[in-house]
Amino acid sequence: MAAPHDGAEGAACQAMIERALASSAAVRTLMRAMERAGCPVDRAFFSCERCAQECQGGYDRARGVILCQQHMQNSRSLIEATMVHELVHAYDDCRAHVDWTDLKHHACTEIRAANLSGDCSFSQEFARGNFNLRAQQQKCVRRRAELSVAMNPTSQGTAARGVP
């Protein structure tokens, strides 16, 4: 997925991780929940890398949370939201042992992450140019889950529309 962090971009990403770990209640809450679930995580669980895919980050069972430094735009709120989103996946994996080759499992954790991370807040959607008056949250969650599941190698690039 990625190459190790480098240069000013990587240093900025690392600094934003440190700030999020120190100041984000949501990040700290999820880290405590993982510890209570038997999967403690620490600073080493988070890394910054240049990613080949067009995404903000990812979760890898063996490597932890990977933040795509070239997509962070020196945005504190973006890195915190991405960390929370990926920590939801890590928590789901710890608690429910997600089978990442099962698209239903993947869709379920994506739906939870989109809802719990703030990915689909009004302000986030407005910034993306999406502002529907009805069912905005549901449309956003579905769109983001479909995009993520479509990147799963098991899906072979197909959308998750058929996944209940």
Cα gap 103→96, rounded to integer Å? 15
pLDDT category at 125 given cuts 50, 70, 90 is low
Residues 6+ apart with CB under 8 A from 102: 154
pLDDT category at 123 given cuts 50, 70, 90 is low
pTM of the model: 0.85
* Contact status, residue 71 vs residue 82, Cβ threshold 8 Å: no
The pLDDT of residue 18 is 96
Lowest-confidence pick of 31-45, 80-94, 111-125, 138-152: 111-125
The pLDDT of residue 139 is 84
Q: Over the stretch 24-54, which tens digit does the pLDDT of each residue have?
A: 999 999 999 999 999 999 999 999 999 988 8
Catalytic pick from 86, 110, 125, 146?
86
Cα gap 123→75, rounded to integer Å? 14
Question: Strands 64-68 and 2-4: what pairing?
Answer: unpaired
35 is catalytic: no
> Residue 64's beta-bridge partner residues?
60
* Contact status, residue 51 vs residue 71, Cβ threshold 8 Å: yes
The pLDDT mean for the chain works out to 86
* Contact status, residue 115 vs residue 141, Cβ threshold 8 Å: yes
